Structure 1
């Protein structure tokens, strides 16, 4: 018999079966849920069981399935399957490791720069107590990040430094500490949006500094900056457009020309280099990016950059420069609100140590990825192809393609790469990509011409076994 409750159709012949649904206490003792309890806790599994029971009740009252085909056992199986599915969905909402096979070396959504093995070891070692704000020699309290100062001096020639949680925070803190209530002269062509709809003019407004635009989108001259200087001016700011590029009839002076102008008028010369490069990336066949050392050598007073882009470390905003400007930034109240924790300091210290040893290109993953030759990538792709070609229903092909650096660095710059194009019999590219993202080994890929592409430009060589595991797990069982 069927009746309606409001707009919902109810199968009244199944209402009696509601009494046969196993209770939560019985279901939770099922051996299939024991592992879930151990991993997620009894409270979570009980809640999933209650949700699954509610789903089973709703199904019973709406299904047209014959009553004789429904039993206590089948209902129990239905509920347990629902609990397991909720457990799987909860796993997809967790923060977990993934393999970045998109070809985008600095993928913002996937955490940008992978950390070196030394940086990961440092995270483990300094998970306990550490000299975060204590001088080991004197036992006295010191500012957070003092441990890095010798490295910044040796590597970049910086007199002083402050490390905050990202480069947007570094920009906000610098403007507020040094320029609040006064004008900062900047080219109209450098009023960038840094991602997530955070725009430089809005950061200026939040800081209390007054934005003084000069020039045009495509051309700004030193004379434009000079004409804008007044008694209200505090600084000249140069921003590297690290996430877009203007081409054609374009020109804009660098910090090497702006710093002398600023100092001639007693102003602060601020240079935001964006991607935080420590080495000349043109050695990898890429366009040159400004480095901390180049900017400081050009006599910039304060230099800003990111820690998790071309520097290859953890997310951080790096502020380097002359002590008479950096010290007021460090002492400014906002600095405490945007300071980094001990784990960031640990990873950044280990990363800078690689540079000091002269082993950065061999040890820092992002530099290793950029340095890999197309031939090396193709050789790895062919090894993967050989393994996968032994499997039934898998078709593979090694292709030469182009990859992007990404992550707000080197806009438009492409690198040669080798990709493994994969097709599974009876499985669409979209479904395969979904299986790879949600499988036991999470892997992000890209799709081209209804094939999944595994781009090795963004995959470290030691991750190749994970690529195989991810693809094998995605093959439907027969």
Structure 2
């Protein structure tokens, strides 16, 4: 055993070798030294455990290969790109919506140099960061004014803090939703300083319930769009139009939290089975303020978008909390680029990846499934068994919770591996591939894989089967 230890190279000799590799040239030497020490400790542990007994196992060429693999794993970013083959379009765990290439380029350019983030090119003086997107938001939605913060939970928080702090906010019991990460509307409301006044029953709330709850302590009426679940059967809720009339009668602002906000009228474009209110409809119904996410159905970056009547938006803009939750230049760049597509809904359907994937027809996906299957077959031959399977995709992101999207999957089976083993191997490839298991196949859904990624999928399969 002592002789085996002596065969291990010194730290300095390994560092001398690593310094000649361009891959690691820009990494701090102290960081690389720590990794080399860790690698050598792994080798020593293998000797102590008896996993290494032969001098050939410590041959320099073998150690070099192992060292390179170790450094590759240890030096790659923790936050990385993955291939989403699950068929869930707005996948909360995989980064929600992906950006259009032009939006991504806008982010890149915003980072490469200085920008007019808060500088008016018309006056040469200080400007507002919100001016870059407010006019677009108003033009698309029909609202009088707009504001953007870092996410929709923040949007709800600042709205309530501004318009109803210390006052009661009336909301239907059936709309007290829980969003991702176990955050609940009542908890967000409590943090804002507003006082929850729930009315009605879980499945049925009437206009008279809201009216009976209004008193001198009432600050606002709140409607929460239950985009992440549905109540069916014996059910009733009060429409936004009815709430607006009630609010006007008592001089109260009406707030709507749309959650996964939407600019695209799916039903009007032939997708009659996908009924979801649009922000434009909500604004037209006379809501005082409405908030929604930027990275769900909208298909842009993470953001909390607030639009509505100018008198209320102006108050929200002046809230000191606004500075703590404001968006940065990268978000602004991506959001402006994404919003421009919505000036023409048909252009948005083609250019915004989220909309394009949601609206893909099953026949189109079946063609893509056959293309992907053929590509894999050419690259891996007899190593895998492939099949085309009918299935369902999901919109995800809390939108259209009851709506399945017909799709076709490429099923993969490797005789020497179970589906679970194959799944584990794909988690360790570069990039990782995330799919799903159905009918004893590991499945890839072309709905959420771009054709540009087909070659990557083949590379990943080769890595997994090594």
Aligned-partner Cα distance in 1 for 2:135–2:88: 33
- The counterpart of 2:385, out of the listed 390, 395, 406, is 395
Aligned-partner Cα distance in 2 for 1:245–1:193: 13
Q: CA deviation at 1:307?
A: 0.3
Match of 1:192 in 2: 177
1:212-291 equivalences under 5 Å are: 212-282=197-267, 283-291=270-278
1:409-424 equivalences under 5 Å are: 409-424=399-414
Aligned-partner Cα distance in 2 for 1:374–1:115: 23
- CA shift in 2, pair 1:55/1:298, >3 Å: same
Which digits, 9 at most, give the CA deviation of each residue in 1:373-401, with x for residues without a partner? 10000011111222323312211111111
Q: CA deviation at 1:322?
A: 0.8
1:102 aligns with 2:92: no
- CA shift in 2, pair 1:454/1:29, >3 Å: same
Contact 2:138/2:307 (<8 A) preserved: no
Superposed CA RMSD = 2.2
SS at match of 1:28: helix
1:42-81 equivalences under 5 Å are: 42-63=29-50, 69-70=54-55, 74=58, 80=64
Match of 1:3 in 2: none
- The counterpart of 1:336, out of the listed 314, 317, 323, is 323
1:110-125 equivalences under 5 Å are: 110-125=94-109
Contact 2:8/2:58 (<8 A) preserved: no
Aligned-partner Cα distance in 2 for 1:284–1:438: 38
Match of 2:294 in 1: 307
The structure number with the bigger radius of gyration is 1
- CA shift in 2, pair 1:18/1:208, >3 Å: same
Q: CA deviation at 1:32?
A: 9.7
SS at match of 2:426: helix
Q: CA deviation at 1:471?
A: 2.7
Aligned-partner Cα distance in 1 for 2:7–2:199: 77
Question: Which stretch shows the higher mean deviation, 271-280 or 144-153?
Answer: 144-153
Q: CA deviation at 1:243?
A: 1.1
SS at match of 2:179: coil
Aligned-partner Cα distance in 2 for 1:429–1:199: 36
Match of 2:136 in 1: 151
SS at match of 2:382: coil
Match of 1:382 in 2: 370
Aligned-partner Cα distance in 2 for 1:272–1:244: 14
- CA shift in 2, pair 1:456/1:181, >3 Å: same
The TM-score with structure 1 as length reference comes to: 0.91
Aligned-partner Cα distance in 1 for 2:158–2:250: 23
Aligned-partner Cα distance in 1 for 2:278–2:69: 49
Q: CA deviation at 1:203?
A: 0.6
Aligned-partner Cα distance in 1 for 2:231–2:263: 24
Question: Which stretch shows the higher mean deviation, 365-374 or 277-286?
Answer: 277-286
- The counterpart of 2:166, out of the listed 181, 201, 215, is 181
Match of 1:126 in 2: 110
Which digits, 9 at most, give the CA deviation of each residue in 1:211-266, with x for residues without a partner? 00001111111111111001000100000011111121111112121111111101
The TM-score with structure 2 as length reference comes to: 0.93
Which digits, 9 at most, give the CA deviation of each residue in 1:313-365, with x for residues without a partner? 11100000111101111110111111000010001000111111441011000
Q: CA deviation at 1:22?
A: 2.1
Aligned-partner Cα distance in 2 for 1:60–1:463: 42
Contact 1:49/1:80 (<8 A) preserved: no
Q: CA deviation at 1:82?
A: 5.5
Aligned-partner Cα distance in 2 for 1:64–1:166: 51
Q: CA deviation at 1:284?
A: 3.1
Aligned-partner Cα distance in 2 for 1:424–1:212: 57
Contact 1:404/1:412 (<8 A) preserved: no
Aligned-partner Cα distance in 2 for 1:276–1:33: 52
Report how many residues are paired.
460
Q: CA deviation at 1:469?
A: 3.3
Match of 1:449 in 2: 439
- The counterpart of 1:469, out of the listed 452, 459, 465, is 459
Q: CA deviation at 1:92?
A: 6.4
Structure 2's unaligned 5+ residue stretches are none
Q: CA deviation at 1:432?
A: 2.1
Q: CA deviation at 1:87?
A: 2.8
Contact 2:46/2:52 (<8 A) preserved: no
Contact 1:49/1:79 (<8 A) preserved: no
Match of 2:14 in 1: 27
Aligned-partner Cα distance in 2 for 1:339–1:398: 46
- CA shift in 2, pair 1:31/1:201, >3 Å: closer
Aligned-partner Cα distance in 2 for 1:286–1:461: 27
